Amino acid sequence: MLARRPFASRDSLLEASDAVCAKLSNDQWLAAFAHHPRIGEQRAAATVSETAQRWSEGEQSDATGGDDSLQGRLHEAQRQYEMRFGYIFIICASGRSAAEILGELEARLRNDNHAELRIAAEEQRRITRLRLEKLVGSDEESGA
């Protein structure tokens, strides 16, 4: 992304991000995943900025609701996911409840390794796009 700067517009920034994402290797995706905390947690495995930490907390705010039983099931399903795939469960959690995320997580546990990595990568792309939009503002704010 740095090599592609400057961007002529908000849309060109978002298009460049999607183009870069389309060319990432599995190892690059896994490195990106390490910069996210588990659903319901505040710390990622890798060091992240305070801004990234605040964005994660905000994106997951709906997912931290529900009773202790639901949160316990979500925690256990994440543990199973990590054991099965070797990385944390990645989902664009913004606006999703704990129950919705748990349902998606349980469904994705049935995927094979290749399919799941592709799904997790697409979720990571969606998170990246959401954060870029926060960084540069919406269409309305940018005058587009």
Note whether residue 15 is domain-resident.
no
Instruction: Report the pLDDT value the prediction gives residue 142, as an integer from 0 to 100.
Output: 46
- In tens, the pLDDT along 105-136 reads 999 999 999 999 999 999 999 999 998 998 88
Note whether residue 16 is domain-resident.
no
Note whether residue 96 is domain-resident.
yes
Note whether residue 93 is domain-resident.
yes
CA dist 81 and 84 (Å) reads: 5
Note whether residue 8 is domain-resident.
no
CA dist 51 and 47 (Å) reads: 12
Note whether residue 5 is domain-resident.
no
Q: Is 36 a catalytic residue?
A: yes
Instruction: Report the pLDDT value the prediction gives residue 54, as an integer from 0 to 100.
Output: 64
**Active-site residue, from 35, 36, 75, 114:** 36
Please identify every stretch of the chain with a pLDDT value under 70, giving residue numbers as ranges. 42-49, 51-66, 138-144
Instruction: Report the pLDDT value the prediction gives residue 144, as an integer from 0 to 100.
Output: 46
Note whether residue 142 is domain-resident.
no
Omega of the bond leading into 37 within 30 degrees of 0 (cis): no
Note whether residue 2 is domain-resident.
no
Instruction: Report the pLDDT value the prediction gives residue 36, as an integer from 0 to 100.
Output: 87
Phi then psi for 110, rounded to 5 degrees?
A: -85, -5
Rounded to the nearest 5 percent, the helix, strand and coil shares of the chain are 65, 0, 35
* Residue 132 lies in domain: 25-137
Q: How many domains does the chain have?
A: 1
The CATH number covering residue 34 comes to: 1.10.3330.10
